[in-house]
Amino acid sequence: MKRVSRQQGFTLLEILIALAIFAILSIMAYAGLAAVLDARAATEPRSAQLAQLQTTLYLLNEDLSQAIDRPVRDELGSPEPAFTNGHGSEILNLTRSVPVWTENAVGNSLQRVSYRFENGSLYRQVWALLDRTPQTQHRRRKLLDAKQVEVKIYEAESHSWRPFIGETKTIPLALQFEFNVEGLGTLQHAFLLHQ
C-alpha cells in the first residue's frame, strides 16, 4: 500500500495570527515615524530662526569690530558721518575696513555698510565704493525676521545705555542690539567696538 504524504504548510489560523502581529508592528512603527516627522517639522522653523540670528550676530560683530572713522558722501553728494543711525528704516550706517588676505596686498580696502529694518526684516547693504553716485551698486542681504530691532549706545560718562539716535562724533565704545523675534522673545547682545 502506498502512503499518501502529508503536505507541510501553515494553517489559516497561523496566517491570521502572523498578519495580526505584522499589523500591530506596522502601527507601532508608523506612530514612531509620525512622532519623529512631527518633531522635525516643529524644530525646522526654530532652527532656521536660530541660524538667521547666528548669522546676524556674526556679521554685526565683524562690521562693528572693523569700524573706522571715515566719513563718506552719499548718492547726492551730501556728507554722511562715519558712524550714524541713518534715516527712516536705516538703523545703522558705518564705514569698515576689510582686510585683504593676499601676499601682494598693500593695505585694507574699505566698505560702507548699512543695516535696515523694513517690513519686519533686518537687511544688510554693502557698498564697495565709499563716496557714491546715483549709479553706485550695492549688495543687499536679508538677515533676520523680527518684530522689532532697537540699537542702544553706551555712554561712558553716565555708564548707561541710551537709544542710538543721530550720529556720534567718534566711534562709540559699545553698541547693544535688541531683537524681538517671534517664538524666541526679546534677545539682547552687546558689541564692544574696536578703538
DSSP assignment, residue 167?
B
Beta partners for 161? Answer: 154
Identify each DSSP E strand in the chain by its residue range: 67-68, 72-73, 79-80, 83-84, 90-98, 109-118, 121-127, 139-145, 148-155, 160-163, 174-181, 185-192
What backbone torsions phi and psi does residue 26 show, to the nearest 5 degrees?
A: -65, -40
Euclidean distance between CA atoms 12 and 172, whole angstroms? 84
Q: Is 80 exceeded by the pLDDT of residue 109?
A: yes
152/165: higher pLDDT: 152
pLDDT of residue 115: 94
Band (140; pLDDT cuts 50, 70, 90): very high
70/104: higher pLDDT: 70
- In this predicted structure, which of 1-15, 143-157, 168-182 has the lowest mean pLDDT? 1-15
Band (6; pLDDT cuts 50, 70, 90): low
What's the whole-model pTM score? Answer: 0.74
Euclidean distance between CA atoms 109 and 69, whole angstroms? 14
Q: Is 90 exceeded by the pLDDT of residue 108?
A: no
Q: Is 60 exceeded by the pLDDT of residue 1?
A: no
Cβ–Cβ < 8 Å for 93, 113 = yes
